[in-house]
Amino acid sequence: MSDRPLGARGDLADLAPYISPQLPAKVRLNTNESPYPPPKELVDEVAEALRSEALNRYPDRDANALVDGLAARTGWSREGLWIANGSNEVLLHLFLAFGGPERTCLTFEPTYSLFSNIARIAGTQVAAGARGPTWEVPDDTAQEALDRHDPDIVVFCSPNNPTGAIESASAIEIALQRAPMVVVDEAYIEFARRGSSFRPMLEAHRNLVIVNTFSKAWSLAGARLGYLMATPWVIEELLRVRLPYHLSTFTQLAGVAALGHEDAGAERVAAIAAERDRIAAELGEMGLDVYPSQANFVLFETGDRTQPDPERTRAIWQGLLDRGVLVRHYPSSPVLASTLRVTAGLPEETDAFLEALRTTLEEM
Ligand SMILES: Cc1ncc(COP(=O)(O)O)c(C=O)c1O
């Protein structure tokens, strides 16, 4: 018998594991986390609340306190809310319940790579539509992709990771008219201009699902907490696929405490957005092509976009890392191989990144 008597499912044989290296760099600007820890009072509250919890018992299966708090904050009915361990798990639940071998999911690439990965993990067929020159989804491209693939689920990401722009409202409208389910992942919406969210469209569209996370603007990536808003029938189906007690007591307490400190986040979000704009402006002054971003990161070309040079991009990425700055690169993406994505962090992290980039470029 071989040393690996049972390989993974055949349909996953070519699925690469998610890799964004967690390297010990001094300045980590590669995973779009918040550079700020959550407020101290929030952490104290969680620690205090934990003391009176019966950890020998399973957690509240329906996370009632957290669902109530989130309903109050979002103004969306508790019957239409679903909470899981990060929005990645929210997406997994969606695909487990609504995907599967007979269903097709349509994404517009490049976008968050986990959409297609998670869909495939849940056995769902994945089809890819394209984006335009500045990564928007043109109406005719959306229409053409919908006609060609006849998807059951269409996924948008707004602002889109890794390109940074708000999705086209008309492309989403077209998808809503055509597909049984349209998911809009708004993981970074708090960093965008006011009024950019597609949340107001929920009332009028029973097939729209909005996903969000506590990992970015809420400074709680370590707590693993994400949620979706949809019409209640979506939640009724999701109940079929979740594991019992999927949200730990710790996670629920962290979420409830976070909702009590909502205001503490606004200043930090504004500071991060200011760093994002400074990064974009400085990169522009260095003569690099920068994609306008409404998120907490900036995607930029490392050279002439019309003549992609992945080797040069890799060398720049390595040059930054050698100087203690870790950013994101996409060596295996056909369209992003000459780009880098940098997360907006603290002002001093922006300084370190810009200086490392200048030196790297000068030395090349
Ligand atoms: C668009 C998008 N959705 C979801 C996630 C995952 O978030 P979570 O930490 O809530 O699983 C990320 C993380 O980078 C993301 O970029």
Q: Which two tokens stand for residue 275?
A: 């760093």
Residue 123 falls inside a structural domain = yes
Instruction: Quote the number of domains for the chain.
Output: 2
Domain's final residue, options 219, 238, 260:
260
Residues 152 and 211 in one domain: yes
Residues 284 and 235 in one domain: no
pTM here is: 0.96
Weakest mean pLDDT among 117-121, 263-267, 333-337: 263-267
Domain's final residue, options 214, 244, 260:
260
Nearest Cα residue to atom 12 of ligand 1 = 187
Residues 281 and 235 in one domain: no
Instruction: Mention every residue, 6+ apart, whose C-beta is less than 8 A from residue 318.
Output: none
Range of the domain at 170: 40-260
Residues 113 and 254 in one domain: yes
How far apart CA 133 and CA 10 sit, in angstroms, is 35
Residues 86 and 232 in one domain: yes
293 three-class SS: coil
Is residue 152 over pLDDT 70? yes
- 51 CA distance to ligand 1 middle (Å): 30
| Cβ–ligand 1 contact at 213 (below 6 Å) | yes
Residues 158 and 222 in one domain: yes
Residues 25 and 68 in one domain: no
| Cβ–ligand 1 contact at 185 (below 6 Å) | yes
Residues 199 and 336 in one domain: no
Contact 37, 229 (CB under 8 A): no
Residue 7 falls inside a structural domain = no
Residues 64 and 80 in one domain: yes
Is residue 24 over pLDDT 90? no
Is residue 353 over pLDDT 70? yes
How far apart CA 247 and CA 250 sit, in angstroms, is 8
Domain's final residue, options 226, 260, 294:
260
Q: What is the pLDDT of residue 263?
A: 75
Nearest Cα residue to atom 16 of ligand 1 = 161
Residues 168-223 have pLDDT tens digits of 999 999 999 999 999 999 999 999 999 999 999 999 999 999 999 999 999 999 99
- State the DSSP code for 306: T
Residue 13 falls inside a structural domain = no
Residues 58-101 have pLDDT tens digits of 999 999 999 999 999 999 999 999 999 999 999 999 999 999 99
Pairing of strands 125-130, 104-109: parallel
CATH of the domain at 173: 3.40.640.10
How far apart CA 191 and CA 240 sit, in angstroms, is 34
Q: Rounded mean pLDDT of 97-119?
A: 97
- State the DSSP code for 205: -
How far apart CA 358 and CA 85 sit, in angstroms, is 39
Q: What is the pLDDT of residue 20?
A: 67
